[in-house]
Amino acid sequence: MALLLKGGRIVDPQTGLDAVGDIVVRDGRIVEVGQDLEIAKGQVIECAEKIVVPGLVDIHTHLREPGFEYKETIESGTRAAAHGGFTTVCAMPNTSPVTDSGSKVRFIVERAAERGVVRVHPIGSCTAGQKGEALAEIGDMVREGAVAFSDDGRGVQDAGMMRRVMDYAKTFGTTVISHCEDESLAAGGVVNEGVVSTRLGLAGWPAAAEETAVARDIRLCELTGCRLHLAHLSTAGSVALVRDAKERGLPVTAEVTPHHLFLTEDDIDPAYDTNLKMNPPLRTAADREALVAALVDGTVDCIATDHAPHAAHEKELEFELAPYGTTGLETALSLVVTNLVGPGLLDWTGMVRVMAVAPRAALGLPEVRFEPGAVADITVIDPEARVEVTRGWFESASANSAFLGMRLLGKATDVLVEGRFALRGGKVADR
Amino acid sequence: MLSNRHIMTMDDLSTEDISLILDTAESFKEVNERRIKKLPTLRGRTVINLFLEPSTRTRTSFEIAAKRLSADAINMTGSASATVKGESLRDTAKTLSAMACDLIVVRHKYAGAPQVLAECMDAHVINGGDGKHQHPTQALLDLFTMRAHTGRLEGLKVGIVGDISHSRVAGSLVPALVKVGASPVVIGPPTLMPARPDVLGAEVSHTLDDVLPELDVVYLLRVQMERSEGMPFPSVREYASLYGMNATRLERMKPDAIVMHPGPMNRGVEISSAVADSERTVVLDQVNAGVAVRMAAMYLLLGGADSGAAA
């Protein structure tokens, strides 16, 4: 069936596009991009006043299935992704069981094919059971479709073990994602070590615990030559380390989350809101400014949500007992439009760079370019749509959002995954 | 009347509130010296002492305070960790609220627990110590004791010695001292310091002997011997030699300076027996003040003179 996306502002830095025009999609592929296009029969999607971009990708998502289906499932998580404008998510391996073998990767691939609303690429663990003791079956997992490897949530604590992981992963040309936490320094901290830890009597997680791990893994990248991606950077010091690594030409990429871009430790007040408990923690205003600047200048390649759903009964515990994380898939785009595109820090081309092009490049995922023959993974954005972040608004099975109560501008109205609607007129399409 | 309906942190109390509590406590202290130590003030009011962390002295002090005001005082004990696998703190709070309690005192292993109770209950909340955060009635009884012994609070230089980073006593005492115009100095090695003591308003010293002669009050914190994350000093012997209060150091204090300790004391660690038993040490006065100050806090929260009750 043919599909005509009509009259939208088409933005794709890969093909140099930023103009009002039309896109024709047939059989899951883009067949034509141009002006005043028509189709004999098929569906026309009116895109006037909207922005049409290559499908957004989140390379850091916790889908929780298998094992924690009460927090999220592959179905609910991919519905949330579609709702937020994403055509692709990469699923972190800290499930139960941990995604540490080919058969576990295959489960996710098959379940996503069965129930997923958007594309799901599994990320395998670096070490068996994410225990940091022995290599996971990386080769087997690559064969089954794992796109990268990470002990996210834990980090590989032993430097020698991490070196082995990177040496071995290099065989397959894959990327190792570092969780960037030295546990001996983070020491169970629950907020940034500094003003807020002192005021609220909470254990601090110092910036140095991240920067030590970032510095170590950059050195190991240099030693092994393995591609390294640094997850959820949160400090100005980490940005400086990445800048230096890139200047030296190392194959290093980095991501930042919406919560580290748009919130700071100062948002944590005596109300002890557990939705603001993150790992790594929210940092200082100066860190936040450094992260925004680094995203704008390209030092930090992309935005990744670290979507971390938790059940209400888990987040309603005392701050020190509640689990870390916020959901992020459904708010990321609106936050970026409101806080970066709106004020002119990023133009639409920049938005596409950090949410569609660079994340694919970081993990070597297939490109999505607006040109004939390309796969039709497309996100349509209404930049003027108003969003009020409320519990009832989420498609995710969990509502632990750090952004609850915010009023934002801009959201996805339509999402096409290989030419099929995942989101249509703002509503998630049933499979 | 106080400016807030709860006493969860020192931020809930204005300078005027602090004066009112201390002055009210003076009159209750007199009651505590009578043969019949009981007032009808809070008759018919229900006070629950929810102690989810082991405590004897604080719980007893609150219980005595409530009973001397004729409130129905109920003690509930347990462990916070039990609430992890069993009932959540929120559900406990809602359950107690459904029983129509008027005031709840909470001691809890984790910071912010009083906030949870305040959100889930209609009762007034007094923080009896939350994690490493605050313990405001301890700070109030300490101010009461300092004022009784030195005749003033403004301008006092108070050295707080020990594990500042893990101490809810310091967490409340430092801001309390700042509010009344005193000058707190926190003293200990950097391994026992919070990240930013400056934001609380305290000066920092790593050498007790440097500041000792300037202090009006030496406030010793209990050294916690049971720590999972590794000891922050090499040995008790070394700690005692650098930061312990002993007879030699007692002589180097100002002639009218006093020694305080929130208890229970580790004799031979942060305080030698000679100092603990000396006339300069006012630990038992602190304990005595605790009952009067807690009576005042409960009385003022539950409406004070407006409740029809009178001291």
Enumerate the domain spans of chain A.
2-52+373-428, 56-363
From A306, A377, A382, A414, the catalytic residue: A306
Query: Could you give the count of Cα atoms lying within 13 Å of B205 in the half-sphere of its Cβ?
Result: 20
For the residues of A241-294, what is the DSSP string, one character each?
Answer: HHHHHHHTT--EEEEE-HHHHH--GGG--TT--GGG--SSPP--HHHHHHHHHH
- Distance between CA atoms of residues B208 and B245, nearest Å: 9
Cβ A293 vs Cβ A309: under 8 Å:
no
Verify whether residue A297 is a known catalytic residue. Answer: no
Q: B166 and B298: one domain?
A: no
Predicted pLDDT of residue A18:
98
Q: B55 and B148: one domain?
A: no
Determine the residue of chain B that is closest to A186 in CA distance: B229
Q: How many domains does chain B have?
A: 2
Q: B187 and B243: one domain?
A: yes
Give chain A's residues under pLDDT 50: none
Q: B258 and B191: one domain?
A: yes
Containing structural domain, residue B59: 10-131+287-307
Cα B97 from chain centroid? Answer: 25
- Distance between CA atoms of residues A62 and A71, nearest Å: 10
- Distance between CA atoms of residues A307 and A320, nearest Å: 20
Q: B148 and B282: one domain?
A: yes
Cβ A409 vs Cβ A334: under 8 Å:
yes
Q: Is B63 on the interface with A (CB under 8 A)?
A: no
Whether B303 is covered by a domain: the verdict is yes
Predicted pLDDT of residue B309:
41
Show residues of chain A in contact with B196, CB under 8 Å. Answer: 194-195, 197-198
Which residues of chain A are at the B interface, by a Cβ-Cβ cutoff of 8 Å? Answer: 187-188, 193-195, 197-204, 206, 270-272, 313, 316-321
| B93 φ, ψ (degrees, to nearest 5) | -60, -45
**Could you read off the pLDDT of B235-290 as tens digits, one per residue?**
999 999 999 999 999 999 999 999 999 999 999 999 999 999 999 999 999 999 99
Residue B305 above 80 pLDDT?
no
Reply yes or no: is the peptide bond before residue A66 cis, omega within 30 of 0. Answer: yes
Token pair for residue B89?
Answer: 């703190």
Chains A & B: contacts with CB separation below 8 Å? 71
- Distance between CA atoms of residues A154 and B118, nearest Å: 35
Tell me yes or no: is domain A2-52+373-428 CATH 2.30.40.10. Answer: yes
Average pLDDT of the segment spanning B44-68: 94
Predicted pLDDT of residue B310:
41
Show residues of chain A in contact with B13, CB under 8 Å. Answer: none
Show residues of chain B in contact with A323, CB under 8 Å. Answer: none
Q: B279 and B291: one domain?
A: no
Average pLDDT of the segment spanning B52-69: 94
Token pair for residue A4?
Answer: 């005509």
Residue B304 above 80 pLDDT?
no
**Could you read off the pLDDT of A92-142 as tens digits, one per residue?**
999 999 999 999 999 999 999 999 999 999 999 999 999 999 999 999 999
Whether B271 is covered by a domain: the verdict is yes
Q: B302 and B226: one domain?
A: no
ipTM of the complex: 0.90
CATH code of B189's domain: 3.40.50.1370
Q: B216 and B255: one domain?
A: yes
Q: Which residue has the tokens 């100005």?
A: A236
Considering only CB atoms, B194 lies closest to which of A198, A317, A321, namely A198
Whether B115 is covered by a domain: the verdict is yes
For the residues of B67-85, what is the DSSP string, one character each?
Answer: HHTT-EEEEEE--HHHHHH
Q: Name the band, by pLDDT with cuts 50, 70 and 90, for residue B228.
A: low
Global pTM reads 0.94
Q: B22 and B62: one domain?
A: yes
Q: Name the band, by pLDDT with cuts 50, 70 and 90, for residue B10.
A: very high
Token pair for residue A138?
Answer: 């990386």
Where helices occur in B100-135 by DSSP H, the ranges are 113-120
Whether B88 is covered by a domain: the verdict is yes
Residue B307 above 60 pLDDT?
no
CATH topology of domain A56-363: TIM Barrel (3.20.20)
Whether B3 is covered by a domain: the verdict is no
The verdict on a CB contact (< 8 Å) between A272 and B171 is: no
The verdict on a CB contact (< 8 Å) between B112 and A200 is: yes
Residue B201 above 70 pLDDT?
yes
**Could you read off the pLDDT of B14-27 as tens digits, one per residue?**
999 999 999 999 99
Q: B157 and B56: one domain?
A: no
The verdict on a CB contact (< 8 Å) between A316 and B88 is: yes
Distance (Å) from the alpha carbon of B112 to chain A's nearest alpha carbon: 6
Q: Name the band, by pLDDT with cuts 50, 70 and 90, for residue B306.
A: low
Average pLDDT of the segment spanning B83-111: 89
Q: B173 and B222: one domain?
A: yes
Residue B308 above 60 pLDDT?
no
Considering only CB atoms, A198 lies closest to which of B9, B131, B197, namely B197
Show residues of chain B in contact with A199, CB under 8 Å. Answer: 199-200
Predicted pLDDT of residue B311:
40
Length of chain B: 311
